Each structure stands twice: as structure tokens, then as C-alpha cells.
Amino acid sequence: MQRDPELADLLYEGIQITRPLLRHITNAVDVASQKHGVSVGERAILEALLNSRVPMTAPALTERLDLKRQFVARVLTACKAAGFVEMQDNPAHMRSHYYVLSSKGRDAITAIREAELSILEELLQNLSADEVRAHLKVQRALLGCFSSLAQS
């Protein structure tokens, strides 16, 4: 297959804007989450628990979020202290507890997500469904490509 230099340059440009894009997204998420007393790390844990709909262990959260074990442990401790999560016994492993959202945690992450979705709905006024699907396809392909390269 012949390489299209213009298309490769466009993809490269898309990759180059990823760092500032992620920095701005992280800052916006941080500001919005702080209104609910939630840090960016706590938000990630709360959302993972919300999306899983089943209790998760710290190792499962670590794997799902692709974060360091120590970081996840610190954030889980903060979430527990803030009353966002509760621990449940894990019959399969006495030392590896399950974590679930408390009602306070569920309320916080639901409010945060609703605020974020209203922002995204405004953005969607200028994008087609095909464009959004194409964006997601490219993001998944980049993640797969670069995560496999990082593990090599």
C-alpha cells in the first residue's frame, strides 16, 4: 500500500495536539470536579466504579484505569475518607476488598458527568455522528498502536 504523506502529516498533527488537549481537558475536569469536592484522580475512580456497576478490587481498578498501583491505593484511601466509596469483604481474597460507590460518591460522579455531558452536547452541535465515530476509531487505533509500542 502506498503511503499518503499528506494523510500521515494530518495524523501526526492530530497526535501533536493531544498533549495540550489532554492538559486542557484535565484542567477543565479538575475545576468542575472540585465544585463537588472531588479531585481528578478521585473522579477517575468514581467513574470507573459507576461504569462497572459491580464492586471492584484495587487491582481491578488499577488495570482498568492503567495507573500505578500505589496511586490507585492513595486515591482509594482519599475516596474512602471523603465518604465517596465503601469497602466490602471479598470472599475470594481476605486482603483484597471490593470497593463500591457510596450514595455520596454516586451523587458526586453523576452530577459531574451531567455537567460534562451538557458541555459535550454543545460541541456536538458542530459535529456529525460519523465524525464522532471516526474520532473514536482513530483514538482507539492510536491507543492500541502506542500502548503496544510502549510495552515492547
Label residue 66 left, alpha or beta by phi (over 0 means left) and psi (-120 to 50 means alpha). left
Residue position matching grid coordinates 494523510:
7
pLDDT of residue 86: 96
pLDDT per position as a tens digit, 102-136: 999 999 999 999 999 999 999 999 999 999 999 99
CA distance linking residue 3 with residue 37, whole number of Å: 49
16-31: per-residue pLDDT in tens?
999 899 999 999 999 9
Q: Using N-to-C axis directions, what is the helix angle for 58-65 and 40-52, rounded to 10°?
A: 100
